[in-house]
Amino acid sequence: MTVQLVPGVMVSHSQHVIIPLEVFAKSVKSFIDNNTVDKKNRNYAVKQRYVAEEMAAISSVWDYCGELLENLDIYCRKPSLCLDGVDYELGFDMFKFIYNITNIIADFCRRIDVLRDKTVVKGLDDSYTAAYNIAKRDVLCSPETVPIMTTMGFIYAQQVCRAKT
């Protein structure tokens, strides 16, 4: 995939690991379903707090978590938009999550005695650190040039409407 350079848009990175938004939504739904118990269950409050904390962690990195949770059933059914006359399936870019967690793990490995002296940990250059993590808001754009993440990458559409499919 090539990254489209658009005037008025600045991105902090050009790498993407895109999956269908539907796949991400279904994994969130599965996580919630598997960690929800009946209100009468003695673990109800603990489970609710656990789910809320995990969703807050996602929300700290991804702006659209609230929207996803409010409309989870819709996002679990191949969400798509018609952008400039072409239907696109919406995408979820995992790159930021992968990159950031890799840096966090590298920092932890450097602090753990048994791992610190391992060749692989010693071989990490100084750029592998949480200090260089990608920020939550990593795309700057003008209001008329807002990218939409699809499974094909960012699309900068002039016309946005419901997908035909």
Residue 69 neighbours by CB distance under 10 Å: 17
Identify the pLDDT of residue 149: 94
pTM, entire model: 0.84
Identify the pLDDT of residue 5: 62
pLDDT confidence bin for 2, thresholds 50/70/90: very low
User: In this structure, which amino acid lies at residue 142?
Assistant: S
pLDDT confidence bin for 1, thresholds 50/70/90: very low
Q: Are 64 and 91 in contact (CB under 8 A)?
A: no
Indicate whether 164 pLDDT > 50: yes
Q: How much is the average pLDDT of 75-96?
A: 96
The string of pLDDT tens digits covering residues 124-146 is: 999 999 999 998 888 888 877 88
Q: Please name which of 96, 103, 101 lies closest in space to residue 132, comparing C-alpha atoms.
A: 103
Identify the pLDDT of residue 8: 66
Indicate whether 3 pLDDT > 70: no
The string of pLDDT tens digits covering residues 9-21 is: 777 667 899 999 9
CA–chain centroid gap for 23, Å, is 12
Identify the pLDDT of residue 142: 80
Calculate Rg over the CA atoms of the chain: 19
Indicate whether 165 pLDDT > 80: no
Instruction: Please provide the average confidence, as pLDDT, over all residues in the chain.
Output: 91
